[in-house]
């Protein structure tokens, strides 16, 4: 059973001023934020992050979109984190997302869908490592 997942609040939700409401839902669902930062991805870095999707028809649009404005990247901890977080955010297409899910409440459409959530423990570790050191010193 996993205990961490990686997430990003996407540019549409940050721009709309919904990050606070989204983070409140995540904390109320029992997740603890382990690490968090706001940043603006370059087109290149978005392309690296979504490299698994590079053969998909929406890859170019996805990379443009994810580099179109600031995001908030974070690691969240909870028992069964990956599956529970996917349930909290809802289906990729907000029109198919269950009532009360983050995407149902805040996503605009299938590409500007408010939030990312890792799909496996293995990818959670890879994605968290893409943005965060295990122990950030400054």
Which residues in this chain contact ligand IDP in the complex, by CB under 6 A?
53, 58, 62, 92, 110-111, 113, 116, 119
Distance, in Å, from the CA atom of 77 to the CA atom of 4, rounded to the nearest integer, reads 4
Q: Which residue's beta carbon is nearest to the bound ligand IDP?
A: 92
For ligand IDP, the closer of residues 51 and 138 by Cβ is: 51
The answer for residues whose C-beta is within 8 angstroms of residue 59's C-beta and 6 or more apart is: 50, 53
Using alpha carbons only, what angle is made at residue 49 by residues 46 and 54, rounded to the nearest 5 degrees? 85
Active site residues: 116
Distance, in Å, from the CA atom of 63 to the CA atom of 81, rounded to the nearest integer, reads 26
C-alpha to C-alpha distances, 47 to 51, 59, 67, 111, 124, nearest whole angstrom: 6, 8, 9, 15, 17
- Taking CB within 5 to 8 Å according to partner kind, which of ligand IDP, Mg ion, none is near residue 40? none
- Taking CB within 5 to 8 Å according to partner kind, which of Mg ion, ligand IDP, none is near residue 58? ligand IDP
For ligand IDP, the closer of residues 13 and 35 by Cβ is: 13
At its nearest, how many Å lie between ligand IDP and the CB of residue 93? 8
- Taking CB within 5 to 8 Å according to partner kind, which of Mg ion, ligand IDP, none is near residue 19? none
Distance, in Å, from the CA atom of 66 to the CA atom of 45, rounded to the nearest integer, reads 9
Residues that bind Mg ion (CB under 5 A): 119
For ligand IDP, the closer of residues 80 and 92 by Cβ is: 92
């Amino acid at each position: 059973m996993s205990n961490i997942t990686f997430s990003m609040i996407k540019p549409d939700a940050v721009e709309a001023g919904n990050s606070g409401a989204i983070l409140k839902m995540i904390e109320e669902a029992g997740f603890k934020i382990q690490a968090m930062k706001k940043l603006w991805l370059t087109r290149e870095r978005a392309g690296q992050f979504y490299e698994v999707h590079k053969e998909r028809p929406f890859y170019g649009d996805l990379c443009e979109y994810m580099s179109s404005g600031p995001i908030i990247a974070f690691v969240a901890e909870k028992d069964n984190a990956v599956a529970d977080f996917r349930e909290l955010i809802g289906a990729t297409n907000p029109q198919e997302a269950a009532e009360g899910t983050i995407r149902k409440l805040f996503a605009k459409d299938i590409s500007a869908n408010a939030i990312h959530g890792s799909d496996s423990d293995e990818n959670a570790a890879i994605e968290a490592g893409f943005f965060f050191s295990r122990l950030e010193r400054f």
